[in-house]
């Protein structure tokens, strides 16, 4: 899991800033794409006295799988640089729990929207979606070919919400 450093300005001890945990993926381990619009996956703790994880958050390489959950143990550090009035308790181990496959989501508003995925090869006879439908909303799927033309029998009109 990558920890990305965000510089916020100069200080007496190098550059001041934050280490925040972001999501990234790669198919070849050479070219990486950041996910979730570069928003922190695990963000800093609220700025209250005594809170750990306000400036540096560091993860191990992988979560612990526990049933239907992923447990992310991470280190939270209270200070970026050691201040004269810093207390001895500088850091702590934190636990963030996430449901399996709950890394990134797309959220719809009140208006109709659409999502077109990258092309994929599919050999099954069913397509399963992981969606939450709110109040009077619904989800429909249309299958397109590589030229974005609807496949016969798989149009929005053929789909039962």
Task: Please check whether residue 103 is in contact with residue 110, taking contact to mean a CB–CB distance below 8 angstroms.
Answer: no
Does 138 fall in a domain? no
50 belongs to a structural domain: yes
Domain assignment of residue 93, yes or no: yes
Under the phi-then-psi rule, with left for phi > 0, alpha for psi from -120 to 50, and beta for the rest, what region is 27?
Answer: alpha
In a domain, residue 115? The reply is no
Mean pLDDT confidence for 136-146: 86
**Rounded to two decimals, what is the model's pTM?**
0.59
- Span 66-107, pLDDT tens digits: 999 999 888 887 766 666 776 777 788 888 888 887 777 777
Q: With respect to residue 39, please indicate whether it lies within any of the assigned structural domains.
A: yes
Asked whether residue 54 is domain-assigned, the answer is: yes
Domain count, the chain: 1
132: in domain: no
Q: Using one digit for the tens of pLDDT, what is the confidence trace for 19-71?
A: 777 888 888 888 988 887 878 888 777 766 667 776 777 776 688 999 999 99
User: In the predicted model, what is the mean pLDDT of the chain?
Assistant: 79
Q: Using the structure block, give the residue that is written with the tokens 């450093």.
A: 5
DSSP 58-107: E--SSPEEETTEEEEEEEEES-SS--TT--S--EEEEEEEEETT-S----
Domain that holds residue 30: 3-99
- Grouping H, G, I as helix, E, B as strand and the rest as coil, residue 57 is strand
- Report if residue 36 sits inside a domain: yes
């Amino acid at each position: 899991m990558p920890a990305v450093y965000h510089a916020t300005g100069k200080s007496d001890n190098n550059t001041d800033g934050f280490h925040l945990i972001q999501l990234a993926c790669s198919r070849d381990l050479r070219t990486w794409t950041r996910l979730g619009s570069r928003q922190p996956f695990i963000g800093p703790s609220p700025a209250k006295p005594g809170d750990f994880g306000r400036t540096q958050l560091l993860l191990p390489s992988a979560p612990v799988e526990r049933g239907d959950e992923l447990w992310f143990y991470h280190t939270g550090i209270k200070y970026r640089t050691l201040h004269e009035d810093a207390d001895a308790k500088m850091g702590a181990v934190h636990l963030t729990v996430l449901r399996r496959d709950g890394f990134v989501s797309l959220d719809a508003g009140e208006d109709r929207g659409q999502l077109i995925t990258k092309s994929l090869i599919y050999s099954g006879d069913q397509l399963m979606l992981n969606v939450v439908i709110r109040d009077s909303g619904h989800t429909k799927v249309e299958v397109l070919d590589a030229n974005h033309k609807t496949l016969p029998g798989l149009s929005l009109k053929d789909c039962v919400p």
